[in-house]
Amino acid sequence: MAPNLVAPAYYYLAPLLPGMTYYWRVDEVEQDMKTIHTGDVWSFITQALTAYNPKPIDGDGNVSAGVTLTWSLGRNALKHHVYLGDSLEAVTGGAADADKGEQKETTFTPAGLLDATTYYWRVDEILVDGTVQTGPIWSFSTFFTIDDFEGYTDEEGARIYETWIDGWTNNTSSTVGYIQAPFAERTIVHGGKQAMPLDYNNPKAPFYSEAEREFAPVQDWTVNDADTLVLYVQGKSSNSPAALYVAVEDSSKRVGTVAYPDVAVVTLARWTEWRIPFSEFTASGVNLARVKKLYLGLGDRENPKAGGKGLIYVDDIRAIKSGAKP
């Protein structure tokens, strides 16, 4: 028997363009020259002449005000000149108030960014010989924080269940927070250091579980052209499937309710992002520029019937622009 032979696997490419994303795959052909095993598709980005590969990606509308900007350095770059501001004209023209200076690192953490604001930025590459390669203009929008659950403590008056009213007050089958301190969840979190635990117990009347938060003054979720509500939910595999819903009430007491399309989401032991277009609330006449109450529930508040029970975690409720990229 002849020994196994390994043939070198390579392919010479024609010159590639800088700063381009290329995709490639390799199909394996067996010795019968007929059987083909289709390979996976891979990709790579060639080094550009300018700064490229920005994070957050260009146009992202779901960005924290505490973001750290990163990019890949252009070919032969020695230093990077960063420009950032909320004015496209200022960044394009390199105005003084947008000039963040030169640096050697390919990361930049801006200070003082505001929620619900669109920012523009660019990075000019300075080459060894002093030549400047002007970078493209990128943008991102920070989200409007509705509740990130970071401000709650174990002190009376600042406990999570004193803001998010549960079954002890609203007579549903819900429990917000834990019975003993710490009252907020501090291990299973999506962002920051805390999340909200929400227990549902629907085998007993009224057969649905609901937590509610009232805003005073009312909130305007449409600021900076936001048009999508986002929240993150994690369940447990031991949970009973249950309809998860969000309801919004405006200052005129009009209510819009939206249910998650899959009742099994509460059984997933990982964070699930739920994006709800504002249009799903405004279809019920709700004015999202004057939000008075937010409800999170499990079960069917309109037609309640006996159901299951379990515990879910909720984190990072925010309003974003629908232009946010995945």
Share in percent of the chain as helix, strand, coil (round to 5): 10, 40, 50
Q: In the numeric block, which tokens belong to residue 41? A: 């598709």
User: What total number of domains does the chain contain?
Assistant: 2
- Note whether residue 129 is domain-resident: yes
Query: Residue 123 sits in a domain of what CATH number?
Result: 2.60.40.1220
- Note whether residue 215 is domain-resident: yes
pLDDT class of 3 with cuts at 50, 70, 90: very low
Taking all residues of the chain, what is their mean pLDDT, rounded to a whole number? 93
In whole angstroms, give the CA distance from residue 116 to residue 288: 15
The residue-averaged pLDDT of 15-22 equals 83
- Note whether residue 25 is domain-resident: no
Q: Phi and psi for 67 in degrees, rounded to 5?
A: -65, 150
Q: How many residues does the chain have?
A: 326
Residues 6+ apart with CB under 8 A from 112: none
Burial of 211 (0-12, 13-18, 19+ CB in 10 A): buried
Q: Is the pLDDT of residue 213 over 60?
A: yes
Q: In the numeric block, which tokens belong to residue 140? A: 């991102």
- Strand segments (E) across 128-183: 132-133, 138-142, 144-147, 164-165, 174-176
pLDDT class of 228 with cuts at 50, 70, 90: very high
Task: Report the share of the chain in percent with pLDDT over 90.
Answer: 85
Each residue of 38-70: pLDDT tens digit?
999 999 888 888 999 999 999 999 999 999 999
- Note whether residue 95 is domain-resident: yes
Partners of 28 in the β-ladder: 37
Statement to judge: residues 249 and 275 lie in one domain: yes
- Note whether residue 9 is domain-resident: no
The predicted model scores a pTM of 0.82
Per-residue pLDDT, 283: 97
Chain centroid to Cα 26, Å, comes to 34
- Note whether residue 7 is domain-resident: no
Partners of 63 in the β-ladder: 142
Statement to judge: residues 157 and 132 lie in one domain: no
From 143, 172, 205, the end of a domain falls on 143
- Note whether residue 197 is domain-resident: yes
- Note whether residue 21 is domain-resident: no
Pairing between strand 228-234 and 272-277? antiparallel
Statement to judge: residues 195 and 299 lie in one domain: yes
Statement to judge: residues 192 and 299 lie in one domain: yes
Task: Report the share of the chain in percent with pLDDT over 70.
Answer: 94
Nearest residue to 301 via CA among 239, 234, 247: 247
In whole angstroms, give the CA distance from residue 199 to residue 160: 13
Query: Given the structure tokens 């960014």, which residue do they identify?
Result: 113
Q: In the numeric block, which tokens belong to residue 175? A: 């429990």
In whole angstroms, give the CA distance from residue 254 to residue 274: 22
Reading across the β-sheet that carries 291-298, which strands appear in turn? 164-165, 209-219, 291-298, 244-250, 255-259
Per-residue pLDDT, 20: 82
Per-residue pLDDT, 187: 98
Per-residue pLDDT, 138: 98
Q: Is the pLDDT of residue 190 over 90?
A: yes
Q: Phi and psi for 131 in degrees, rounded to 5?
A: -65, 140
From 95, 116, 143, the end of a domain falls on 143
Q: In the numeric block, which tokens belong to residue 3? A: 């020994």
Statement to judge: residues 270 and 186 lie in one domain: yes
Q: Is the pLDDT of residue 25 over 50?
A: yes
From 126, 143, 160, the end of a domain falls on 143
Statement to judge: residues 219 and 316 lie in one domain: yes
Q: In the numeric block, which tokens belong to residue 216? A: 């005073």
Statement to judge: residues 71 and 212 lie in one domain: no
Statement to judge: residues 158 and 287 lie in one domain: yes
Q: Is the pLDDT of residue 142 over 80?
A: yes
Statement to judge: residues 222 and 164 lie in one domain: yes
For residues 120 and 94, is the Cβ–Cβ distance under 8 A? no
Domain that holds residue 258: 145-320
Nearest residue to 17 via CA among 38, 55, 44, 57: 44
Statement to judge: residues 133 and 239 lie in one domain: no
Query: Residue 261 sits in a domain of what CATH number?
Result: 2.60.120.260
Statement to judge: residues 173 and 292 lie in one domain: yes
Statement to judge: residues 191 and 243 lie in one domain: yes
